[in-house]
Homo-oligomer: A and B are copies of this chain.
Amino acid sequence: MSEFAQFADRLKRPIDVKLHDFQRNERLRHLIFASQLTPQLLEKLRRMADMIRQLSRTKEGNLQLKQLLAHRRAMLYFSQPSTRTFLSFMAACQILGITCNEVRDPKTSSEAKRESKMDSIRMFSSYFDVIIMRTPEPNFAECCAYLMNELESREMRSVPIINAGSGSDEHPTQALLDMYTLMRTFSTDYSRESKQSRFVELQSQTPELKPGIANKTYLFCGDMGRGRTVRSLAYTIGQYPNVRLLFVSPSHETLRLDEQTKKRLRALRADIHEFDSLDAQLEGQPILAQADAVYMTRIQREHNSTQDDSDFSKIDFSQYQLNPERVARMKIYAPILHPFPRDSVMGEIPTSVDMDSRAMYFRQARNGMWARAALLVHLFDAADELFMLHNGR
């Protein structure tokens, strides 16, 4: 957009240089890119999310949490529809007492009166204390972060920006909740919470299972070309040592992983492999049997070109679907994740898998609420207060 012209120089910089603009010393100033989610920060957020989850088990804990950020008001600016991400952020805010406001339909907004998008954002920042945004325009959240930084540098009112999915860019809070789910799955910390953690029990059955994200094999399956959640999560996992990333998709250009992503992942020293079927083998072994975690995704038909529609009719999509037989071949501890919604017609995960103990996708959705709440506590610098609440229990 022409309005973004003023930020053109900043947009062109390499991502590593940009990241400094979104930090405030040790802390996030805005969350724009999944690359901001370092292993150190993820560990910090995981602990905070766990505290919030534990406090929320009692009425008393809930009422304390609802005071934590009760002096804050949030704007959820979602001009791109997304019920799930939207509701998850709403719930996260509500847990912490943050009052929510929303603008969802661009037609009801002042944009119809030719207000610039930047004026709309400044309006939101006048009334509210954080802007959580999901919009179809690429780089929009990034530009808003630059605008806020500029206002702050002039000692004017400025608020944090959270990218809840902008354009076909990354989707950093999805990566956050996916990582939170994986970290919980591969952690020994939860032995006391019998229902929630299967780790210690599973470890006794499979001694090769070690805690942590590093040194593991992650299998991604489905729409690798258009799935921003895959990209965001793969970068984040790629920061850990000795990880193997397996990408399973039709070899069609629209659907397979793009070259630029592969290049960035290789720069992180991740070990990358591509396949065109869930039944493929690597080094003589079925890939499904080697995966420590399986991340399924939906084919995003709504973004198909006419050519895609025609091409895809020749693809055998059953190669990219789980079913009880394939699940039976997986490691007994390997969690199945999906960013949801899943496609009930295509059936990349049929409901027959739902009751398997490895099906982690509903729990993953609920994790999104805790992880996003932790992010808000972090951005508002209320971690110390949360620790005190938690220890005071």
Q: A110 touches which one: B63, B84, B119, B122 (CB < 8 A)?
A: B84
**Chain B: minimal CB distance from A128 (Å):** 7
| A112 close to chain B: CB less than 8 A | yes
Copies in the complex: 3
Asked whether, in the complex, the Cβ of B70 is within 8 Å of the Cβ of A112, the reply is no
Interface segment among A36-44, A100-108, A164-172: the answer is A100-108
Asked whether, in the complex, the Cβ of B63 is within 8 Å of the Cβ of A91, the reply is no
A341-B113 contact in complex given A108-B104, A157-B366, A195-B155, C-beta closer than 8 Å: yes
| A251 close to chain B: CB less than 8 A | no
A344-B71 contact in complex given A110-B83, A366-B127, C-beta closer than 8 Å: no
| A154 close to chain B: CB less than 8 A | yes
A91-B101 contact in complex given A110-B341, A346-B114, C-beta closer than 8 Å: yes
A94-B99 contact in complex given A70-B63, A119-B340, A343-B114, C-beta closer than 8 Å: yes
Asked whether, in the complex, the Cβ of A362 is within 8 Å of the Cβ of B122, the reply is yes
CB-nearest residue of chain B to A150: B355
**Chain B: minimal CB distance from A194 (Å):** 11
Chain A residues at the B interface, C-beta cutoff of 8 Å = 3, 56, 59, 62-63, 66-67, 70-71, 73, 75, 81, 83-84, 87-88, 90-91, 94, 99, 101, 103-104, 107-110, 112-116, 118-120, 122-124, 126-128, 154-157, 195, 298, 302, 340-346, 351, 355, 362, 365-366, 369
